[in-house]
Amino acid sequence: MKNWAEKYRPKKINEIVGQKEAIEKVKNFLLNFPGKKKAIILNGLSGIGKTTIVHAMSNEINSEIFELNASDLRNKSSMNLRLKPVLEQQPLFEKNKIILVDEVDGISGTDRGGVSELVSLIESSKYPIICTSNDTWTQKLSPLRKKCEIIELKEISPSEIKGVLKMILENEKKEINPETLNQISIKSNGDLRSAINELETISELGKKEIIEIYEKPKKMDIFHAMKHIFQDQAEVEMTSTFDRVDMPIDEILLWIEENLPKVYSGVELFKAYEQLAKVDLFKGRIYRQQYWRFLVYENFFLSFGISESKGKKDKKGFYKYKKPERILKIWLNNQKHAKKNSIAEKFAKKTHVGKRKALSQWNEIKYILKNPKIQKQLKMDEEEINYIMKY
Ligand SMILES: Nc1ncnc2c1ncn2[C@@H]1O[C@H](COP(=O)(O)OP(=O)(O)O)[C@@H](O)[C@H]1O
Ligand SMILES: [Mg+2]
């Protein structure tokens, strides 16, 4: 049986809640294809209607969706094989087509090939391409951003969410406590899918009492996170800021380092650098002694510590935050080495050859490691497999 979120997924455009502007833009894009750009990205948090809009729109304009996923893009020949029949169909029987790349930010970070495949597909495609994404601003998607018009979707308001939940309850002939209903509507933070899921779970409990709903932490991109830390008045709650950013803490550190001197000056800059020095100190201890609980301190200095360095005030104004290109490249490169290292370690352990030996014979060993059976035996994780397959 379908869960409620699926069961109540709108089939028609006019059943979609909110998102009027985005829907209008998608429609324009499709009806005027090929226009200035041949692809769009629907950007926004999860559960707000990105996938739904694409499917409902294709029903509305009577076209067909051809869906590509991250793993298709990883492998050029398999993608072309899958695409071929689509692209070569007889024009006479041809229905309009939309190529959908859902959750394009899922193309993994080590998998740069996937992004460039997509970019060249956009350049050659006869059909409109729609991507969806939670976080379009990650570094790895930058070549894609240049090819696409980016359409922002909004979070669904609590009252709109409540409206949908009530409609579902009525339809299912179920009831829950009104206060609980309010709480779900507010605390889902604009994510309608999670609100519907929560409603389904609670209604199955068959209880009428008030159930405490925990707030879903809202995702934040790195630009907003930096603005929050650098410019808002310091508060202890800031320590949770980076939990909401989809980025390893070490990469966040690079962004902070790069942008700090743009916003801070004089004494406050000096104080903030002291905080960064402490971060480095703890980082060293974390790696040397594997004291993972020091991560807490690292995070603390990097968020509240930096913010507090400017005193108890906020900073108004617009600052142009920038991504730390050069250092980031070095960092990503080191990450690559880290992959190679961890794979070599696994290999060495299984074969008793010693890690240094394994690394010195890397050129031979890497071919062995492309074998899926071996990968399984060594328990290589997805990122390690991606890494080795790209060689
Ligand atoms: N704007 C919306 N209007 C109506 N239902 C929605 C909307 N957004 C999300 N939903 C509900 O949440 C579910 C997931 O929506 P979906 O479009 O898949 O979200 P995402 O933005 O993550 O792609 C849908 O099946 C539907 O039940
Ligand atoms: Mg989706």
How many angstroms separate the alpha carbon of residue 194 from the centre of ligand 1?
9
The answer to whether residues 318 and 337 belong to one domain is: no
* 67/223 Cα distance (integer angstroms): 31
Residue 139 lies in a domain: yes
Confidence (pLDDT) at 212? 65
DSSP string, 329-365: HHHHHHHHHHHHHHHHHHHHHHHTS-HHHHHHTHHHH
What range does the domain containing 184 cover?
Answer: 158-205
Ligand 1 site, residue 339, Cβ cutoff 6 A: no
214 belongs to a structural domain: no
Write down the pLDDT at residue 214. Answer: 64
Average pLDDT rounded to a whole number, residues 230-242: 91
Inform me whether the pLDDT recorded for 312 exceeds 90. Answer: no
Site to substitute for ligand 1 among 6, 9, 67, 188, most atoms within 8 A of C-beta: 9
Do 9 and 140 belong together in one domain?
A: yes
CA of 6 to the centre of ligand 1 (A): 9
Percentage, residues of the chain above pLDDT 70: 91
Q: Is 26 among the domain residues?
A: yes
- State the pLDDT at residue 92: 55
379 with 244, same domain? no
Q: Does residue 341 lie in a domain region?
A: yes
Say how many Å lie between the CA of residue 192 and the centre of ligand 1: 6
Q: Is residue 38 part of a domain?
A: yes
Q: Is the CB of 16 under 6 A from ligand 1?
A: yes
Report the CATH number that the domain containing residue 140 is assigned in CATH.
Answer: 3.40.50.300
Residue 238 in any domain: the answer is yes
| 262 against 332, higher pLDDT | 262
Residue 117 domain-assigned (yes or no): yes
Ligand 1 atom at minimal distance to the Cα of residue 4 = 27
Specify the 3-state DSSP secondary structure of 129.
strand
Ligand 1 midpoint to CA 10 (Å) = 8
Nearest to 386 by CA among 165, 153, 71, 96: 71
* φ, ψ dihedrals at 22, nearest 5°: -60, -45
Q: What is the pLDDT of residues 174-223, one digit of tens each?
A: 988 888 899 899 988 899 998 998 898 888 766 656 666 666 667 888 99
Asked if residue 36 belongs to a domain, the reply is: yes
3-state secondary structure (DSSP) of residue 188 = coil
Q: What is the pLDDT of residue 329?
A: 76
Do 257 and 269 have their domain in common? yes
Last residue of a domain, one of 273, 307, 323: 323
User: Do 172 and 280 have their domain in common?
Assistant: no
The reply to whether 137 and 35 lie within a common domain is yes
When divided into structural domains, the chain yields a total of: 4
In tens, the pLDDT along 200-211 reads 888 876 665 666
The pLDDT-based confidence of 249 (bands split at 50, 70, 90) is confident
CA distance 100 to 107: 14
Which pLDDT score is estimated for 289? Answer: 65
Residue 22, pLDDT > 90, answer: yes
β-strands 129-133, 148-152 pairing: unpaired
Domain boundary among 152, 167, 195: 152
Backbone angles phi and psi of 242, in degrees to 5: -75, -15
Q: 198 and 235 in one domain?
A: no
Q: pLDDT band for 153, please (50, 70, 90 cuts).
A: very high
94-104 per-position pLDDT tens digit: 668 899 999 88
Same domain, 240 and 252: yes
In this structure, are 63 and 137 located in the same domain?
yes
Asked if residue 72 and residue 142 are part of one domain, the reply reads yes
pLDDT confidence band for 154 (50 / 70 / 90):
very high
Q: Do 233 and 318 reside in the same domain of the chain?
A: yes
Ligand 1 test: best mutation among 7, 42, 52, most atoms within 8 Å of CB? 52
pLDDT one-digit tens code per residue, 86-127: 766 655 556 688 999 998 887 755 555 788 888 888 988 888
Same-domain check for residues 299 and 226: yes
